[in-house]
Amino acid sequence: MLPDKKKRIGVFFCHCGKNIAGGLNIEALIESSKQIQEVSYVVDNKFSCSEDGQVDIQKAIQEQKLDRIVVVACSPSLHLMTFQRCGEKAGIEPQFVDLIDIRKWTMHGSPQKIAPEKALEKSKKLIELAVKRMRLKRLIPMAEIKTEQSALVIGGGVAGLEAGLDLADKGYKVHIVERLPTIGGKMALLYKVFPTNDCAPCILAPKTAYANIHPNITLLTNSEVKSMGGYIGSFHVKIVQNPRYIEADKCTGCGECVEKCPVKVKDDVFSAGMGQRKAVYIPYDQAIPKKAVIDAQNCLYFRKGVCRLCEKQCPTNAINFGQKPKTVEIKVGAIIVATGFDEYNPTEKSEYGYGRYNNVITQFQLARLLDIDGPTKGQLLRPSDGKEPKRIVMIQCVGSRDVSTNPYCSNICCMYALKHAQIIKEMVLPEAEIYICFIDMRTVGKGFEEYYSRTREIGINFIRARPSEVIQDTETKDLSLKVEDPEIGRLLKLEAGLVVLSCATIPSSGTEQLSKTLGIKLDKDGFFKEMHPKLRPVETNVRGIYICGSDQGPKDIPNAIVQAKAAASCADTELRKNKIKLPQFIVNASKLKKGGR
């Protein structure tokens, strides 16, 4: 502990050009600051963060023999590090450098801007408090800890896989936790992907296959994170591995059990409700790991104690009805969260009839129907009677840009509607007429505008309007809707065999729980919140935990990949230090807490 000698505190005012000086009397603040106890030097400069500004601060520290400083300028999340580094160069311990934000009260356009007199009054108080805090502050002892050379990735979609593979290739041990029985996420189920329309599973396979055999990667499928404790460099994580009721090391994925199983149920996850699977199943052909899994909720043995046909059939005796959930405990240096998204369930937008009318489906369901390896082998047949629809109407922004559901734009729906229209027109039902009702067409990525042009060129109809409701003919199950085409100023009545809703992208179920488990924040829409929307897009409020992909906000695959690589790079930047300094109390508290949050 420091002896209680008199402190020499310096207060530095930044004008931030006109941002601060334009909305506040700095002279008056300088005068009042000089009166505060143990303040021995007060000065202002135009831009404290500029090279000149920093040199001035360093000179003052040395000439005035200052031992603590308070910089009165802008947000600590932006510049505290700048001034700590600046002070450290002149010999001040970083903990004794503080930055307080008064700019938010003075800057043009700031949502918190207030009148100059008010700003002056509030600034005075804030400065007094900051100086007092500096005067009384004791040095917090720091501990040096070793960073585990390993990482945990939560979510095995394309984003999680990319981040995991990057880290594994850099030499870290990586655990990928996926709650479904297979990795791959939504991308594996998309059939084709814009803007090039290549086969989604084909371009995903290099990643899933590599993750499966990478010597540095451990895949934990059917698993979820239960608790987390510790700090960057040393997170303790408990993972629950739910039973497959199949011994993974024995199962060869031959599918004999599936063949024999008498129970058929709707496949809500991998066919989006458009097809069926057995009670014992392999998610799809390219599933990784390609191992069967028993769905205990529907299995006859678990429900009624009978059957066990799969057990008799299995050539390698892999079935094990006695499997129990297993807890795995790991210690990792960093965590990357890539839990992706869910498609919004449009039942609550009852005017469009989803859930009431069989021939109203979602775009994700359409993606499954179009997939030649999907539940209908690529045939586009309407659910009510298995007939080919002659006219298809797509409705954009269902549950997006809608203040009664989700106010934000879901980013990808314009593009996937164009994609599905192209696929139907060019590959599935060339005779079908397709109408897309939209509010704004957003095609801003590289090559996306050309994609839109091509969709118009092949004869897809676009109507810049949103229908008010969908009505079903009770006999034919045909649908009809009216839209006002603003280009001609007339109401159009569209009769359709199939209506497809382009539904919002929402955070995946369980996101809120995970945010509590990990102690990371959510934004107002329920996605994980980044540290700074522009400058720190993949860091979170917990150092060492990063986010990427569509759990941070709706996005397409190219952007999910960019974020995944960024997250891996951030984790690497910290882990490669091998040792980092953390406040001793954090290390202590975490020891006491043992077992985590």
Ligand X SMILES: Cc1cc2nc3c(=O)[nH]c(=O)nc-3n(C[C@H](O)[C@H](O)[C@H](O)COP(=O)(O)OP(=O)(O)OC[C@H]3O[C@@H](n4cnc5c(N)ncnc54)[C@H](O)[C@@H]3O)c2cc1C
β-strands 341-343, 97-101 pairing? unpaired
* Using rule CB under 8 A, residue 439 touches other proteins: yes
Please state the closest distance from residue 551 (CB atom) to other proteins, in A: 25
Q: Does residue 187 belong to the site contacting ligand X (CB under 6 A)?
A: yes
DSSP string for 432-469: -EEEEE-S-----STTHHHHHHHHHHTT-EEESS--S-
Q: Which does 160 bind (CB under 5 to 8 A by kind): ligand X, ligand SF4, other proteins, none?
A: ligand X
Window contacting other proteins (CB under 8 A); options: 189-197, 212-220, 241-249, 476-484: 476-484
E strand or H helix at 393 = strand 391-398
Interface with other proteins, residue 247, by CB under 8 A = no
Is the Cβ–Cβ distance between 505 and 386 less than 8 Å?
Answer: no
Select from 4-12, 107-115, 124-132, 303-311 the region that touches ligand SF4 (CB under 6 A): 303-311
Dist CA 201 CA 185 (whole Å) = 11
Q: Choose between 250 and 466: whose C-beta lies nearer to other proteins.
A: 466
Closest contact distance (angstroms) between CB of 437 and other proteins is 9
Please, which residue, 271 or 511, has the CB nearer to ligand SF4? 271
Instruction: Tell me whether residue 391 or residue 464 sits nearer to other proteins (CB atom).
Output: 464
Q: Is 160 exposed, middle or buried (0-12, 13-18, 19+ CB in 10 A)?
A: buried
| One of 261, 417, 494, 580 touching ligand SF4 (CB under 6 A) | 261
For ligand X, give the closer residue by CB, 29 or 500.
500
Report the site for ligand X in 290-329 (rule: CB under 6 A): none
Shortest distance in whole angstroms from residue 349 CB to ligand SF4: 14
Shortest Å distance, C-beta 271 to ligand X: 13
The verdict on 397 binding ligand SF4 (CB under 6 A) reads: no
CB 12 within 8 A of CB 97: no
- Cβ atoms of residues 293 and 270 within 8 Å: no
Binds 193, which of other proteins, ligand X, ligand SF4, none (CB < 5 to 8 A, cut-off by type)? Answer: ligand X
Nearest to 506 by CA among 478, 485, 527: 527
Contact criterion met (CB below 8 Å) for 346 and 400 = no
Which DSSP helix (H) or strand (E) runs through 173?
strand 173-177
The CB-of-459 to ligand X minimum distance in angstroms stands at 21
Which residues 23-42 are close enough to bind ligand X by CB under 6 A? Answer: none
Which of 10, 23, 87, 160 is close enough to bind ligand X by CB under 6 A?
A: 160
Total residues interacting with other proteins, rule: CB under 8 A: 22
Question: Going by C-beta distance under 8 Å and a sequence separation of 6 or more, which residues neighbour residue 440?
Answer: none
Residue 524 binds other proteins (CB under 8 A): no
Among 219, 395, 560, 575, which residue sits at the site for ligand X (rule: CB under 6 A)? 560
d(CA 507, CA 512): 9
Residue 263 engages ligand SF4 in binding (rule: CB under 6 A): yes
- The only residue of 193, 307, 394, 397 in contact with ligand X, by rule CB under 6 A: 193
What does the per-residue mask of binding to ligand X show for 388-427, with x meaning CB under 6 A? ------------------------x---x--x--------
Measured distance CA(127)–CA(300) in Å, rounded:
70
Total residues belonging to the chain? 597
- State how far Cα 428 lies from the chain centre: 33
Q: Does 180 bind ligand X (CB under 6 A)?
A: yes
Q: Which stretch binds ligand SF4 (CB under 6 A): 11-19, 116-124, 298-306, 480-488?
A: 298-306
Q: Does 474 bind other proteins (CB under 8 A)?
A: no
Phi, psi of 593 (to 5 degrees): -75, -25
208 binds ligand X (CB under 6 A): no
Question: CA-to-CA distance for 160 and 568, rounded, in angstroms?
Answer: 10
User: Which residue type does 44 have?
Assistant: D
Q: Long-range contacts for 304-313 (Cβ within 8 Å, ≥24 apart)?
A: 307/262, 309/257, 309/260, 309/261, 309/262, 310/257, 310/258, 310/260, 310/261, 310/280, 311/257, 312/260, 313/256, 313/257, 313/259, 313/260
The dihedral formed by the CA atoms of 390, 391, 397 and 398, expressed in degrees to the nearest 10: -60
Question: Shortest distance, CB of residue 313 to ligand X, whole angstroms?
Answer: 29
Told to check if 597 binds ligand SF4 by CB under 6 A, we report no
- The residues with which 496 forms a beta bridge, in sequence order, are 479
Residue range at the interface with ligand SF4 (CB under 6 A); choices 81-89, 173-181, 300-308, 418-426? 300-308
CB-wise, 81 or 491, nearer to other proteins? 491
Q: Which residues bind ligand SF4 (CB under 6 A)?
A: 260-261, 263, 279-280, 294, 299-301, 307-310
Give residues in contact with ligand X (CB under 6 A). Answer: 154-160, 177-180, 185-187, 190, 193-194, 224, 338-341, 343, 363-364, 367, 412, 416, 419, 508, 510, 514, 549-550, 555-558, 560
Instruction: Give the residues lining the site for other proteins (CB under 8 A).
Output: 351, 397, 401-404, 439-440, 464-469, 481-484, 486, 489-491
